Structure 1
Amino acid sequence: MNTLKIGLALVAITALAACEDAQFTKNGPDKTVDRGIDRKHLSQLEAGIWVDPNGCDHWIIDDGVEGYLSARLDKYGKPVCSGVAPPTQTVGDFKKGSTRIIGDPI
C-alpha cells in the first residue's frame, strides 16, 4: 500500500511540475505564447486558412504539439469569407508552423 501511495505522489508531483512554466497576464493565461518545446511567439509561426462549413475563413496553426484556430476578421470585425477553398478544407502550410523563421520567403 505504501508503494502505491508513493507512486501516486510521484505522478502528482510530476504532473504539477509541468504547470510551472505557465505565463499569466492580469486577465488569465497568455494565449499569445507557444508553450511547445520550441518556445516561439505565435507571430513567428506560419498560419494556414481553414474554411468552416459556412464558407468563412479561420487562421490555423499546428506545430505538432499545440494547435491554434482563430476567426479571420476584416478591419471592421466581420468574418472574412474569401472562397479560397471549399468548406471544411484547409490551405497553406500550417502544419510546419514551428519551422518558419522570420525573414524566410513564404
Structure 2
Amino acid sequence: MAALVPAPAHGDPGTRGRLRIADRVYARIAARAAREALDGAWQGRTARGAPPTVSVNTPSTQGAPVTVRVAVDLPFPADLTALARAVKDRIGADVRALTATRVAEVVVVVEHLVPEAAG
C-alpha cells in the first residue's frame, strides 16, 4: 500500500517566482493606445498615416519602469502638440492599467505630416 505524500510547502506567493512581461506585449499595448488616441483626428479624412511603430526599453531590474518610443504620422493641419500629448498620455495610462508597470517616459516621434488629399 502506498503512503500518502504531503504536498510540498510553498512560501508566500510573492516569493515563489516572478512575472516577466515581454517587450512585444508592451509594444502591442502602446501601438493600440496610439491608434486609439489618434482615431478622432483621422475621422473624416481620406488620407491616413501609416500605423504607429513602437520600441520598448525594459530594464533588467524587476519592477523598474519601462521607456516607450512611438513613431506616428499625424494629420496636417492639426494641433500637433495636443495630438502628441494625447498619444503620450494614452500610452502611459494603458500600459500602467494593463500591466501594472510604471512608465518612465514615452517619447513621441512625428515621422510624417499627412495633408488632406486634394479631391
Give TM-score, length-normalised by structure 2. 0.25
- Higher RCO, 1 or 2 (CA under 8 Å, sep at least 6)? 2
Which of the pair is proportionally richer in strand?
Answer: 2
Which of the pair is proportionally richer in helix?
Answer: 2
